[in-house]
Chain A
Amino acid sequence: MQVTNKLTPFFENLNFERDDNSMVINFGPQHPSAHGQLRLVLELEGELVKKAYPDIGYLHRGVEKMAENMTYNEFLPTTDRLDYMAATSNNYAYALSVERLLGVEVPRRAMVIRTMLLELNRIISHLFFIATHALDVGAMSVFLYAFREREFAMDLMEDYCGARLTHSAVRIGGVPLDLPPRWLTDLSKFCTKVSYEIEHTYEALLTENRIWKMRLEDVGVLTQEDAISWGCTGIMLRGSGIKYDIRKEEPYELYGELDFDIPISDKCDSYGRYALYMEEMRQSVRILRQLIPMHSKTEPKLMAHAPQYISAPKEEIMTQNYALMQHFVLVTQGMRPPVGEVYAPTESPKGELGFYIKSEGEPYAYRLKCRAPSFFHTGLLQEILVGTYIADVVTIIGSTNIVFGEVDR
């Protein structure tokens, strides 16, 4: 314990034990590189981390509890607040699991729009990752450039749904709106812009950068066995050389028809994962380019036809009595999905995001469990940080790309 007097005051964040040169430091929850509300208790031996203890829960809002007290449609905007970097992917994961439970079929135009939004969100999230990761490691300028393109992407989201961060752009059974005029033109301009910037700005600044390589190569090495055992998904898994992408392996939406590659890296380190983020953005652009011509070939229907569960289009509600009655019941009482349970995995930008929903046939979910990728990646920190230097801790946290909205829920 610290002996405190007027000359050696009490340091609440430090615990010196001079005999064995070990020190316990408290990292976060206000540390700027802690990606939100991560608190890490690190036991150091000199500069070497001997023990790491991630302490979470500073952003706990009880989302799963709220889900038990809200009807299915009411809960959807709450999912925005999970992974707030890419809100649509949460909306979608939730909507998908409810749709599987209901067994409704989403119209093709809604599927095109949803896939576009998902990929746009992936780019938004990856740009944010590149920006903050580079900022954490010390490359300030990348942050500015990446945020510029991210603004353009968020402008597109704003044009579509009116919100920049909390989109709620996906509804159970489809999407609420068709794309505004000229949106697809803007999107293809954005695709050109972002694919140019990936190559000429971010990669030009980082990929061959000596400092960047020294800071990232062989840092945060995650073996295949550990990646599987810790439940790592997404780029953490593919960065360890396992080719598993839910979009390819268990296709949902239009991913089965689209042509894209799943990049993997067998380097198992932070640099390999960084390269994957870059490559994934390219693939997202490729997917978006394929989707743009698909939109005009579809019927204009946007919401699934399942009158028992999903309200009819506004036109019918305004003109047909029975549609209005059903809409009234669905709004006041909420839909009642069949009894059963569902787990629908999706590939969010962070990894496997899935909602386990247990329904008892009531308008309120009996139990909803959000399988958040970042939660398991945070658990991994207690092992991957041991044996690294304190300077690499920030790199490794950045490389796991955890976001605390979904860790604490």
Chain B
Amino acid sequence: MRKYTPKDNLQKKSYYTDRFWVAPRVPKEMVEEGSHFDDVVKALSEVSEIKESAIELGQLRVVINPTDNFKVLEALKERCGYKMMSEMSAVDYLAKDGEFEVFYQMLNLDEAKRVRVVCRIQRDEAVESVVSLFKSANFAEREMFDMFGIKANNHPFLKRIIMPDDWEGHPLLKTYPLQGDETASWYEVDKIFGKEYRDIIGPENRDPSKVDRYDGQRFSRVGYEVPFGTEIDPENEEENPIAYSETFMVDYTTGTETLSRRK
């Protein structure tokens, strides 16, 4: 039976996977009693419910309830010394679970330890903004909104940051194709000329080396000159003594050059 591929994930997928192949997992270590991360987990469990905590590749990963994100990060900052939020963003799991995974990558400058706080939110849910705790969240949350459409409540200026303000769709969603959707492909035409010019201008040519030899507007003609913008009819093209592409065939025994008849 053919393996089911979700239709709501348009990203590239492996064309072949061994049906008996089971992907290994990165080892998860338990948090040791009395270690620094143990103190962190204890301090966090006082303010909120910790769903899961484990050390993955040297960094603590804590899964929390999405409603508690502000409280947890505040406790991390005030009580555990995680004063810097080095990164935050989201992972799109809509196709699989109908959820987003939002992560906050925290850094303790004194202990040189890193904690990743992870929470899962539903499709139309928002997270509480943490800009009042970490100013670096200002740009990061805007980027998350821009790329995934996840809103951060009480953000001072939640606006698109990388894409234009009037862009449609959120590019990092799995449902957004790599080449862009229809609105994206007509974005400049719609904006500069208006929708009615789509037919006149035509779709964008993404092949940079494409040469249309019947286009008198953008390409000059090899062999004979025509005025700019001349309409060249491919059906009744006048016979020209110089071929479009000249290839000389050299007969090395006699040393004579002849023009190839190939066109």
Among B14, B59, B164, B176, which residue has the most Cβ atoms of chain A within 10 A?
B14
B89–A341 CB distance below 8 A: no
- Write the B137-177 contact mask toward A (1 if CB under 8 angstroms, else 0): 01110010001000000000000011110000001100010
Binding site for A on B (CB under 8 A): 11-16, 21, 23-26, 56-57, 59, 61, 83-87, 89, 91-92, 103, 105, 109, 112, 114, 116, 134-136, 138-140, 143, 147, 161-164, 171-172, 176, 178
CA distance A383 to B15 in the complex (A): 49
A341–B163 CB distance below 8 A: no
B178–A65 CB distance below 8 A: yes
CB B36 to nearest CB in A, in angstroms, measures 14
- Contacts A343-B59, A356-B103, A356-B105 supplied; 15 other A-B pairs, CB < 8 Å: A65-B176, A68-B178, A69-B11, A250-B112, A338-B23, A339-B26, A341-B26, A343-B87, A345-B114, A354-B86, A359-B26, A362-B23, A371-B105, A375-B139, A376-B136
B87–A358 CB distance below 8 A: no
B135–A383 CB distance below 8 A: yes
Specify which chain B residues have a CB less than 8 angstroms from the CB of A103 in the assembled complex. 26
B86–A345 CB distance below 8 A: yes
Specify which chain B residues have a CB less than 8 angstroms from the CB of A65 in the assembled complex. 171-172, 176, 178
A371–B26 CB distance below 8 A: no
CA distance A75 to B3 in the complex (A): 27
Compute the total of residue contacts between A and B using a CB distance below 8 Å: 129
CB B204 to nearest CB in A, in angstroms, measures 16
B56–A57 CB distance below 8 A: no
Specify which chain A residues have a CB less than 8 angstroms from the CB of B116 in the assembled complex. 341, 343
A270 within 8 A of B: no
B14–A364 CB distance below 8 A: yes
A342 within 8 A of B: yes
Pick 17 A–B contacts, CB within 8 A, sort by A. Answer: A68-B178, A69-B178, A70-B12, A229-B135, A231-B84, A231-B85, A231-B87, A233-B86, A333-B16, A338-B25, A343-B105, A345-B86, A359-B26, A362-B23, A364-B13, A375-B143, A382-B138
Query: Which residues of A from 337 to 384 have beta carbons under 8 Å from B?
Result: 338-343, 345, 352, 354, 356, 358-364, 366-367, 369, 371, 375-376, 378-380, 382-383
Specify which chain B residues have a CB less than 8 angstroms from the CB of A66 in the assembled complex. 178
- A57-B163 contact, Cβ under 8 Å, with A65-B172, A371-B105: yes
Among B26, B134, B176, which residue has the most Cβ atoms of chain A within 10 A?
B26
CB A142 to nearest CB in B, in angstroms, measures 31
Contact partner, B87, options A334, A336, A354, Cβ 8 Å: A354
The chain B residue sitting closest to A375, CB to CB, is: B139
Specify which chain B residues have a CB less than 8 angstroms from the CB of A364 in the assembled complex. 11-14
CA distance A409 to B139 in the complex (A): 14
CB B46 to nearest CB in A, in angstroms, measures 24
B86–A371 CB distance below 8 A: yes
CB A87 to nearest CB in B, in angstroms, measures 21
A57–B162 CB distance below 8 A: yes
CA distance A367 to B87 in the complex (A): 14
The chain A residue sitting closest to B61, CB to CB, is: A341
The chain A residue sitting closest to B146, CB to CB, is: A57
Specify which chain A residues have a CB less than 8 angstroms from the CB of B25 in the assembled complex. 338-340
Contact partner, A342, options B57, B161, B164, Cβ 8 Å: B57
CB B68 to nearest CB in A, in angstroms, measures 21
B57–A356 CB distance below 8 A: no
Contact partner, B11, options A68, A101, A361, A382, Cβ 8 Å: A68
- Size class of A's contact patch? 35 or more
- A378-B139 contact, Cβ under 8 Å, with A340-B25, A354-B86: yes
CB B69 to nearest CB in A, in angstroms, measures 17
Among B21, B59, B84, B147, which residue has the most Cβ atoms of chain A within 10 A?
B84
Contact partner, B24, options A339, A354, A366, A378, Cβ 8 Å: A339
A249 within 8 A of B: yes
Specify which chain A residues have a CB less than 8 angstroms from the CB of B84 in the assembled complex. 228-229, 231
A367–B92 CB distance below 8 A: yes
- Write the A41-78 contact mask toward B (1 if CB under 8 angstroms, else 0): 00000000000000011001010111011100000000
A379–B162 CB distance below 8 A: no
B114–A338 CB distance below 8 A: no
CB B51 to nearest CB in A, in angstroms, measures 16
CB B97 to nearest CB in A, in angstroms, measures 12
B162–A408 CB distance below 8 A: yes
CA distance A242 to B139 in the complex (A): 23
Among B61, B86, B92, B112, which residue has the most Cβ atoms of chain A within 10 A?
B86
B109–A242 CB distance below 8 A: yes
A100 within 8 A of B: yes
Specify which chain B residues have a CB less than 8 angstroms from the CB of A230 in the assembled complex. 135-136
Contact partner, A60, options B14, B24, B138, B162, Cβ 8 Å: B162
Specify which chain A residues have a CB less than 8 angstroms from the CB of B138 in the assembled complex. 379, 382
CB B215 to nearest CB in A, in angstroms, measures 28
